[in-house]
């Protein structure tokens, strides 16, 4: 059975890190909407050109363009044995479109990484990122990126006031996804307020539990 996974969670929950870690351990692609959007633009595909025009106007890429780009990516051979989606879907409308895309495949497993808001604010307000490659670090790390050697800086949108506003946007736009998926037998929620290794173990255990139950979406 192909392992088709969606990792949900608010900003600062660590979903990108956990998605990357899990995908690597299972030998399946981690599909980030940011990555595939940049790839489509760089490759000058029809959808990439549409996305570039939208972004050049300073607007958000529409659902239909994002759905089209995700559909193209999931149609590639390397995703036939499974995938981990990070950053998509972000809205219920996108989730409904994704259901249509994967119709006929093995079921989607959905894991929500839940973290209390005060912990999210603490994490994001103390986060450092590499100005060269974008890798995330913490103040406890040296001032040099361990990935590329670039300088670590704080993102302008990682101060407490902006972080709390970003979380309001998440609650309004993306949190309804949890309600959309919660009643499915392939949905699990895990505690993301733990050390990363414990979260990784709980994520793997939740997914294995779905497999042992033999449930279908």
Q: Which helix (H) or strand (E) holds 63?
A: helix 63-74
Enzyme catalytic residues = 15, 90, 127, 155, 166
- 124/157 Cα distance (integer angstroms): 9
**Amino acid 132: pLDDT:** 82
Q: Span 136-141, mean pLDDT?
A: 60
For 53-67, write each residue's pLDDT tens digit. Answer: 877 786 767 888 889
Sign of the torsion formed by the C-alpha atoms of 64, 91, 31 and 216: negative
What percent of the chain is predicted at pLDDT more than 70? Answer: 93
Whole-prediction pTM: 0.79
Average pLDDT, the chain: 86
With bands split at pLDDT 50, 70 and 90, how would you rate the model's confidence at 43? confident
Q: How far is CA 61 from CA 65, 68, 176, 196, in A?
A: 7, 11, 20, 31
For 150-176, write each residue's pLDDT tens digit. Answer: 888 877 766 788 888 888 888 887 788
Listed by start position, the domains of the chain span 3-213
With bands split at pLDDT 50, 70 and 90, how would you rate the model's confidence at 125? confident
Q: Give the number of other CB atoms < 10 A from CB of residue 157.
A: 12
Tokens of 147: 């990935």
Q: Give the number of other CB atoms < 10 A from CB of residue 179.
A: 9
- 43/25 Cα distance (integer angstroms): 28
Q: Span 60-85, mean pLDDT?
A: 90
Assess whether pLDDT exceeds 50 at residue 209.
yes
The answer as to CATH 3.90.79.10 being correct for domain 3-213 is no
Q: Span 44-73, mean pLDDT?
A: 83
**DSSP strand E in 82-178: where?**
82-86, 108-114, 128-130, 136-137, 152-153
With bands split at pLDDT 50, 70 and 90, how would you rate the model's confidence at 217? very low
Q: Span 46-59, mean pLDDT?
A: 80
Cβ–Cβ < 8 Å for 41, 72: no
**Amino acid 153: pLDDT:** 82
**Amino acid 141: pLDDT:** 55
Closest to 84 in 3D by CA, of 113, 111, 114: 111
**Amino acid 129: pLDDT:** 81
């Amino acid at each position: 059975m192909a392992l088709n996974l969606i990792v949900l969670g608010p900003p600062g929950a660590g979903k990108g890190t956990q998605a990357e870690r899990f995908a690597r351990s299972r030998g399946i692609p981690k599909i980030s909407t940011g990555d595939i959007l940049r790839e489509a633009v760089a490759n000058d595909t029809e959808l990439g050109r549409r996305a570039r025009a939208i972004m050049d106007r300073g607007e958000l890429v529409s659902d239909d363009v994002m759905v089209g780009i995700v559909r193209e990516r999931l149609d590639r051979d390397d995703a036939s044995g499974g995938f981990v989606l990070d950053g998509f879907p972000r809205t219920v409308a996108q989730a409904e479109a994704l259901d249509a895309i994967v119709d006929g495949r093995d079921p989607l497993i959905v894991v929500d990484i839940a973290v209390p808001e005060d912990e999210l604010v603490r994490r994001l307000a103390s986060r450092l990122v590499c100005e060269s490659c974008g890798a995330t670090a913490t103040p406890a790390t040296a001032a040099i990126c361990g990935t590329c050697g670039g300088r670590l800086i704080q993102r302008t949108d990682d101060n407490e006031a902006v972080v709390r506003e970003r979380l309001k946007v998440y609650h309004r736009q993306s949190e309804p996804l949890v309600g959309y998926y919660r009643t499915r037998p392939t949905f699990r929620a895990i505690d993301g307020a733990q050390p990363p290794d414990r979260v990784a173990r709980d994520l793997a255990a939740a997914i294995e539990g779905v497999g042992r139950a033999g449930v279908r979406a």
